[in-house]
Amino acid sequence: MMGIGVSPGIAIGKAFVLKEIPTNSPKQSYFNYQEENQRLEKCLSTVRLQLENIRAKAEAKLGDKAQILDAQILITQDEELLTFVRGKLKEGLSAEAAVHDGVEFYAELLASMDNDYMRERAADIRDVGQRMIRHLLGVEQSDLAHLPESYIIVAHDLTPSDTATMDQERVLGFVTEIGGRTSHTAIMARTLEIPAVVGMVDGTSIIKTGDLVVFDGESGELVLNPSEETLMVYSAKQKKERESRARLQALKEQPSMTQDGRQVLIAANIGTPKDCEGALKHGAEGVGLFRTEFLYLNRDTLPSEDEQFQAYKAALEEMAPNSVIIRTLDVGGDKEIPYLGLGKESNPFLGYRAIRVCLRQTEIFKTQLRALLRASVYGKLGIMYPMISSLDEVRQANAILADTKAELATEGIAVSPDVEVGIMIEIPSAALISDILAKEVDFFSIGTNDLIQYTTAVDRLNENIASLYTPYHPGVLRLVQKVIENGHNSGIWVGMCGEAAGETALIPLLLGMGLDEFSMSAISVLEARELIGKLNYAEIQAWVPEVLAIGTAEGIKEALRLKSIRG
Ligand SMILES: C=C(OP(=O)(O)O)C(=O)O
């Protein structure tokens, strides 16, 4: 079977298939009201306890992200819902049918409201309802927080709450039916260093819990119930991979330098300050992208200035003296924050998102900037604005930053004089005017995840057109080259924090174009350093024009492959 390899590593283990359970439970009636009522009450307290246990466990590991479970615990105590369910029981329905009807009634009511927050609550109610019905039907499915042994998780998709609460020690790999290289599951898998394959169509129907599964998180190849021979091949690959990781550790303290002395920076992408640990373990020379959305997700209100300050300070202190580039709020697209009430849009990736929200709802932006500036004295900070499409936006954002700095100065709060300010280049219009934008900022970081989708009109999350989503498209690469050239002409450094920066086959070309900083999943840092150490910058620079003259993504890929074979 073939999927899309999104997190490297060989996974070998038993499958644990997360089935969506049917919500249309049969309308059974009961024979004894007392008995049925007792079943319901027992189920309520068991499920509440389960959720509280998951929450406690998740909190120890994940801090704020565990708040996602609070809403679910509250549902098990919701008087209105419970009165409805108990009423159904009195009408003669079985406990599971009563729960089903109650949950569906309220979920549909919430889902029909013109409010994202309420719609989100509908999903929560259904989640809790499924857990209760499963318990009542005796088809309890161990949740990912309490896996009895180590498994490869197979699911249609994994939600942020699944990955936030799962028992990481016992998850050998992820296989999902949907998603692409830049989907939530993929990014989480790489951060957690768990091999993963997405886009495995019909995976949950073909694979059964208990089946032996082996897969390669790089190539996307999966073998179900492999022969002895195949198993041996994969075991050998896994052993080799572990040896190679151990060997790479020797490069941890080394600079990222080519044979002829061109030095670049290899940094890591993180989602929370906790991820700095992994970044340092893998020898990252800083953080090239701190996605601050995670501070805003899975909660009901905006994080306070102080809460944010603590998170930014922690990351800066941990990575000092190396720099941490912190991206201001990039809400929208696939990152919904229901309590902001931004409303449903027909084209969310082209809509009211990121810097567009920050420039209109300036209080949100200012709170974040204040927290960032206050934290700046604890390390080397870079502030980065996402989704810049025009010069006006950069100027407006910088004006708000200047106001915020002045405000802090009058309050007598110290701010580092060395804060760098940069922008993500992820929209073609910004790439095309990067010569002009370069005069306003200290650095560019190319966000290829979005730049690819906006340049080629290919939705980055749609597995149906995943083959069209490629960083090797000559149109994308020409824009990348233009941005680097324009940045350098204005004397600023240019980095890349999209997933393409960690794509082994592409690294030589990016290096040859003059990219100064590569920011990637921590797990890829040492491999990239090893590769760069084998390259000769002057030679590669000489063949960049030849590669960029090729008209197709496949042609470019092939040319890069041949170059790497020839050395
Ligand atoms: C790094 C990027 O941003 P996101 O968080 O949207 O993946 C990008 O677009 O390349």
Query: Of the candidates 137, 159, 191, which is a domain's last residue?
Result: 137
Is residue 567 scored above 60 in pLDDT? no
Name residue 213's beta-bridge partners: 13, 224
Residues contacting ligand 1 via CB (< 6 Å): 182, 289, 291, 330, 426, 447-450, 497-498
pLDDT surpassing 90 at residue 529: yes
**Nearest atom (ligand 1) to Cα of 182:** 7
Q: If you take atom 1 of ligand 1, which residue's CA is the nearest one?
A: 498
| Domain assignment of residue 333, yes or no | yes
Please tell me which residue in 146, 184, 276, 358 is annotated as part of the active site.
184
State pLDDT tens for residues 385-436: 999 999 999 999 999 999 999 999 999 999 999 999 999 999 999 999 999 9
Ligand 1: nearest atom to the Cα of 500: 10
- What CATH number has the domain bearing residue 359? 3.20.20.60
Q: Is 488 noted as a catalytic residue in this protein?
A: no
Predicted local distance difference test score (pLDDT) of residue 53 = 77
Question: Quick one: which atom of ligand 1 is closest to the CA of 335?
Answer: 6
Residue 321 above 60 pLDDT? yes
Catalytic (active site) residue 497 = yes
Report if residue 109 sits inside a domain.
yes
- Report the range of poorest mean pLDDT among 44-58, 476-490, 518-532: 44-58
Of 117, 137, 157, the one marking the end of a domain is: 137
The predicted pLDDT at position 333 comes to 77
CA distances in angstroms from 338 to 116, 280, 342, listed in the order given: 5, 33, 7
Q: Which residues are annotated as a binding site?
A: 291, 327, 426, 449-450, 460
Distance 496 CA to ligand 1 centre (A): 10
Q: Does a structural domain hold residue 412?
A: yes
- Closest C-alpha among 260, 317, 269, 324 to residue 518: 269
Same domain, 402 and 538: yes
Domain boundary among 104, 121, 137: 137
Per the model's pLDDT, the better-predicted residue between 35 and 119 turns out to be 35
Q: Alpha-carbon distance 227 to 212, whole Å?
A: 10
Domain-located, residue 105: yes
**Three-state DSSP state, 124:** helix
Per-residue confidence at 66, pLDDT binned at 50, 70, 90?
Answer: low
> Can you give the residue range of the structural domain that contains 126?
20-137
Strands ordered across the beta sheet of 171-176: 4-7, 196-198, 171-176, 151-155, 10-18, 212-216, 222-224
Residue 436's CB is within 10 A of a number of other CB atoms, namely: 14
The Cα 137–Cα 153 span in angstroms is 23
Helices 116-137 and 95-111: crossing angle in degrees, nearest 10, is 170
Tokens coding 60: 């120890």
DSSP 221: B
Flag whether 384 is in a domain.
yes
Phi, psi of 332 (to 5 degrees): 105, 180
**Lookup: tokens for 267:** 């940094």
- Å from CA of 325 to ligand 1 middle: 13
Give 361 or 180, the one with higher predicted confidence. Answer: 361
Q: Which of 6, 182, 328, 445 to mutate to test the pocket of ligand 1 (most atoms within 8 A of CB)?
A: 182
**How many domains is the chain built from?**
2
CATH number of the domain to which 120 belongs = 1.10.274.10
